[in-house]
Structure 1
Amino acid sequence: MTGTITGPLDRFFVLDLTRIRSGPTCVKQFADWGADVIKIEPPEDNSGYADRDSSDFQNLHRNKRSLTLDLKSSEGRDILMCLVDKADVLVENFRPGVKKRLGLDWETLHARNPKLVLGSISGFGQTGPYAERPGFDQVAQGMGGLMSVTGLPGQGPVRVGIPVADLTAGMFCATGILMALLDRERTGVGQWVQSSLLQAQVAMLDFQAARWLIDGEVPGQAGNNHPTAVPMGVYPTSDGSMNIAVTGNRMWQDFCTIIGRPDLADHERFATGRLRLRHRDELNALLFEITRTRTSKDLTEALIASGIPCGPINKIDAVFEDPQVAELGMVVEVEHPKRGTQKVLGQPIILSGATPVMHSATPDAGQHSDAILKELGLSDAELADLRERKVI
């Protein structure tokens, strides 16, 4: 496949030794934008490795070639090292000790191919007291503080509905790899790029972290209310509920006019942002009684006309029926040899001179093994021998 797919990253050859979610999320950025990505998987018992038929797996691993390889065998490791010699990037999410045992540590790989960029994603980092712990998204959400600020006040810790630590660790690692590739153009030398679920989750605390680091305030759960601004959150309507975000005094005054209560704009308890935050429960009780008399459509149209952010609270099916989501190209199709046309998530990035390369569905395990190994110069007889001995 090398050289047949065009895209902004089509000059890069990437080895994917990742599994579960954080690593595949990282590699997906390269696969979707044209890189030649080889996914390396165990040769046997792939049902225990991943459920290939799941929608999750099919969405994560499109645009890759699959090579099955036993990395515990000397022949398997030799083949991998031949691929390392050609590679621009290798991405893995093994624990540090496992990586060392497989000979995939930075020192070994850098000595073999000084131009290689190694991307490593772990649960807690490559060094430190937790380095060898197994990582899991919800564990990182808890240790990274997110579950303490999610949910209703007094509800107790709540996980968010997506694997945010996994996803952001993968995205941060992809960004780091791209920076290392850019720097390699200047230095000629690759780098070791590291990210972890814990680092990513702490970074994603953003303003909640700043409240502690700068103000000395420990944030708590605020439910559907914004932690520091009012009115901002979920408001009932006559036919459901919706999000409304009123920021600043100009919006506040316009909002009060729209809901038919201009007297609230200069009320002694609500006239400023600080006052509204201090009296949040009282103000929201008033607003709930007003907004629940309006339909979501009517209130949305009135607020949007005044430039006040608002919107529906969609279930997943409604998300993909939204015309703006369609306009943004967030659903793309790939052809699967067994499933036929298959819808997967698109990229949330738009480039003026390029589009994501959706050239193939998620491959079967080992679907491209023969072609890849023939590119390395192996004969049919050698392939048959390796397959007989379950190296591939």
Structure 2
Amino acid sequence: MPDNVAAQRRPLEGLRVLDLTVALAGPYGTLLLAAMGAEVIKIESPGGSDIARFNPPFSNSDGGLHFGTVGDDDISLSILSRARGKKSVELDLKSAEGREIFYKMTEHADIVFENLSEGVVERLEVDYDTLRAINPRLIYCSLSGLGRPSYYPGVKAMDITVQALSGVMDTTGCSDGPPMRFGLPISDMLAPLYAVIGVQSALLQRRVTGEGQHVTVSMLECMSALLPFEHSDVLQRNGFEARSGNHHNRLAPFGIYRTRDGHVSIAAASDAWMAAIFDAIGQPELMDDPRFAGRGPRAVNADGLNVIIEDWTSQHSTDDVIAELGARRSVPCVPVRTAVEVLADQALFDRRVLEPLVHPTAGTLDAVAGGVPIHMSDADVSVGRSAHLLGADTDEVLIELAGLTEDDLAGLRAKRVI
């Protein structure tokens, strides 16, 4: 094996990303690229232009956490989490000098990743066509909220507005209640996964063609593309409610059931598992009931079936239900854990799925950061170092990639270009 191959322990090592992302969706995409080993250079205007810098809670250089007004010494936990593994450069792209510096950096880049508002990269003259003329091998990833041009001109794309427009809210909640927001910012987290897949595919294609390309992904398209996998249209035309609360009636029993001291999740779509549940609750004859004798009838009669099961689970403790169904009868049945319980799970820390959140000067904070849940047998996939202070790498990067001198930097700093 060649020495350079043996030495490369990270999949994207040697690749350089110019990061023009803000908020969550874009920064999560570049975080994944950094975890895979790419050199990610996060570029912000002098003073900081990522809106996530104003997300509470905040931490200061002493490591304290608060929800008050952000001060000069405060850093948002959002930034501390999303900027891990990245270099930080302050550069004013609104200025001609700043753009020229960025163009020089583009000559040495493999990827540009942006999720700015529609029209911004064109106004700044850092759009795909402009940068491709400088570096034809460049892979330029644009992650938008509602597509470009937007399907809904004038509408601001936030996770909750994308969830609403995508139809996903219509599938979430109870049948007698309103549409409901998914508990996590799911469109912000899903779209960058597709974006990174697109970027990595473009990298593979570039090996053959020698050319880069423009990868475009929108949060709305990613969310909407999920709906057909549950055939929501067919189900509703056949009398199923759009929202079924904590149950997935097409696969009944498949949901959350109250116990004497908590809740359990039971997924027992097969006939064998269904028979095991009826036996456990002391009503094995229900397996011969036409309402429950097959997956189709159980889907139609899911509400009644769920009442029967919960009448039994609610009389027993969570541990007893799991012991009876899971341990003794091999029915998929687990406790419903709280977020706090999961974020304290040592096994997830051992696997680097969760990591302590580290402040660049204060050290480890009383907060948890998400790792990357990808494990490779012959490569290191990890976020690595903590977030850098704003602009900490400006001089180093601009000397290396733009050929600037110390005097150049002093002059640009005086003019607030950097």
Return the TM-score normalized by structure 2. Answer: 0.87
Give the Cα–Cα distance (whole angstroms) in 2 for the partners of residues 45 and 286 of structure 1: 57
Give the Cα–Cα distance (whole angstroms) in 1 for the partners of residues 172 and 234 of structure 2: 19
1:6 deviates by: 4.8
Q: 1:114 and 1:128, CA in 2 relative to 1: closer, same or farther beyond 3 A?
A: same
Corresponding residue to 1:256 among 253, 272, 278: 278
Letter in 1 for 2:374: I
1:323 deviates by: 5.4
User: Which residue is 2:33 aligned to?
Assistant: 30
Give the Cα–Cα distance (whole angstroms) in 2 for the partners of residues 262 and 88 of structure 1: 63
- Name the count of aligned residue pairs: 388
Q: Do 1:13 and 1:86's aligned partners in 2 also have CA atoms closer than 8 Å?
A: yes
Q: Does 1:201 align with 2:227?
A: no
User: Which residue is 2:106 aligned to?
Assistant: 84
User: Which residue is 2:305 aligned to?
Assistant: 283
Q: 1:134 and 1:303, CA in 2 relative to 1: closer, same or farther beyond 3 A?
A: same
Letter in 2 for 1:359: G
Q: Could you report, residue by residue, the CA deviation over 1:1-27 in whole angstroms, capped at 9, with x for unpaired residues?
A: xxx995111121001000001101111
- Structure 1 window deviating more from structure 2 (213-222 vs 31-40): it is 213-222
- Structure 1 window deviating more from structure 2 (329-338 vs 265-274): it is 329-338
Letter in 2 for 1:385: G
User: Which residue is 1:211 aligned to?
Assistant: 232
- Structure 1 window deviating more from structure 2 (342-351 vs 73-82): it is 342-351
Corresponding residue to 1:346 among 366, 371, 393: 371
Q: Could you report, residue by residue, the CA deviation over 1:175-198 in whole angstroms, capped at 9, with x for unpaired residues?
A: 100000010001000010000111
User: Which residue is 1:325 aligned to?
Assistant: 348
- Structure 1 window deviating more from structure 2 (352-361 vs 82-91): it is 352-361
Instruction: Report the secondary structure of 1:235's partner residue.
Output: strand
Corresponding residue to 2:134 among 97, 109, 112: 112
Give the Cα–Cα distance (whole angstroms) in 2 for the partners of residues 48 and 332 of structure 1: 24
User: Which residue is 1:315 aligned to?
Assistant: 338
Instruction: Report the secondary structure of 1:84's partner residue.
Output: helix
Letter in 1 for 2:372: Q
Q: Do 1:123 and 1:198's aligned partners in 2 also have CA atoms closer than 8 Å?
A: yes
User: Which residue is 2:209 aligned to?
Assistant: 187
Give the Cα–Cα distance (whole angstroms) in 2 for the partners of residues 49 and 270 of structure 1: 51
Corresponding residue to 2:165 among 140, 143, 168: 143
Q: Could you report, residue by residue, the CA deviation over 1:229-251 in whole angstroms, capped at 9, with x for unpaired residues?
A: 21111111121111111111111
User: Which residue is 2:58 aligned to?
Assistant: none
Give the Cα–Cα distance (whole angstroms) in 2 for the partners of residues 192 and 214 of structure 1: 37
User: Which residue is 1:12 aligned to?
Assistant: 15
Give the Cα–Cα distance (whole angstroms) in 2 for the partners of residues 60 and 49 of structure 1: 9
Give the Cα–Cα distance (whole angstroms) in 2 for the partners of residues 166 and 181 of structure 1: 23
Q: Do 1:123 and 1:131's aligned partners in 2 also have CA atoms closer than 8 Å?
A: no
Q: Does 1:270 align with 2:292?
A: yes
Q: Do 2:9 and 2:380's aligned partners in 1 also have CA atoms closer than 8 Å?
A: no
Letter in 2 for 1:34: G
Instruction: Report the secondary structure of 1:265's partner residue.
Output: helix
Q: 1:219 and 1:30, CA in 2 relative to 1: closer, same or farther beyond 3 A?
A: farther
Give the Cα–Cα distance (whole angstroms) in 1 for the partners of residues 235 and 313 of structure 2: 36
1:216 deviates by: 5.5
Task: Provide the aligned C-alpha RMSD in A.
Answer: 2.2
Q: Do 1:10 and 1:34's aligned partners in 2 also have CA atoms closer than 8 Å?
A: yes
Give the Cα–Cα distance (whole angstroms) in 2 for the partners of residues 70 and 373 of structure 1: 13
Q: Do 1:116 and 1:190's aligned partners in 2 also have CA atoms closer than 8 Å?
A: yes
Q: Do 2:326 and 2:333's aligned partners in 1 also have CA atoms closer than 8 Å?
A: yes
Instruction: Report the secondary structure of 1:148's partner residue.
Output: helix
Q: 1:73 and 1:358, CA in 2 relative to 1: closer, same or farther beyond 3 A?
A: same
Q: Could you report, residue by residue, the CA deviation over 1:41-71 in whole angstroms, capped at 9, with x for unpaired residues?
A: 0102558662372222211110000000001
Instruction: Report the secondary structure of 1:228's partner residue.
Output: helix
1:72 deviates by: 0.4
Q: 1:219 and 1:7, CA in 2 relative to 1: closer, same or farther beyond 3 A?
A: farther
Q: Do 1:334 and 1:360's aligned partners in 2 also have CA atoms closer than 8 Å?
A: no
Unmatched tracts of structure 2, length 5 or more: 1-6, 55-73
Corresponding residue to 2:383 among 337, 358, 363: 358
Instruction: Report the secondary structure of 2:312's partner residue.
Output: helix
Instruction: Report the secondary structure of 1:268's partner residue.
Output: coil
User: Which residue is 1:95 aligned to?
Assistant: 117
Q: 1:105 and 1:243, CA in 2 relative to 1: closer, same or farther beyond 3 A?
A: same
Q: 1:219 and 1:93, CA in 2 relative to 1: closer, same or farther beyond 3 A?
A: farther
1:34 deviates by: 1.0
Q: Do 1:96 and 1:131's aligned partners in 2 also have CA atoms closer than 8 Å?
A: no
Give the Cα–Cα distance (whole angstroms) in 1 for the partners of residues 351 and 228 of structure 2: 26
1:202 deviates by: 0.5
Q: Do 1:97 and 1:132's aligned partners in 2 also have CA atoms closer than 8 Å?
A: no
1:302 deviates by: 2.8
- Structure 1 window deviating more from structure 2 (99-108 vs 61-70): it is 99-108
Q: Does 1:379 align with 2:374?
A: no
User: Which residue is 1:121 aligned to?
Assistant: 143
Return the TM-score normalized by structure 1. Answer: 0.92
User: Which residue is 2:417 aligned to?
Assistant: 391
Letter in 1 for 2:361: K
- Structure 1 window deviating more from structure 2 (237-246 vs 342-351): it is 342-351
Unmatched tracts of structure 1, length 5 or more: none
Give the Cα–Cα distance (whole angstroms) in 2 for the partners of residues 67 and 17 of structure 1: 11
Give the Cα–Cα distance (whole angstroms) in 2 for the partners of residues 188 and 177 of structure 1: 15
Letter in 1 for 2:44: E
Give the Cα–Cα distance (whole angstroms) in 1 for the partners of residues 152 and 32 of structure 2: 28
Give the Cα–Cα distance (whole angstroms) in 2 for the partners of residues 214 and 288 of structure 1: 24
Q: Could you report, residue by residue, the CA deviation over 1:298-356 in whole angstroms, capped at 9, with x for unpaired residues?
A: 22133223332121111111113345534543122465332212542111111111222
- Structure 1 window deviating more from structure 2 (102-111 vs 213-222): it is 213-222
Letter in 1 for 2:337: N
Give the Cα–Cα distance (whole angstroms) in 2 for the partners of residues 326 and 307 of structure 1: 28
Corresponding residue to 1:370 among 379, 391, 395: 395
- Structure 1 window deviating more from structure 2 (290-299 vs 160-169): it is 290-299
User: Which residue is 1:223 aligned to?
Assistant: 245
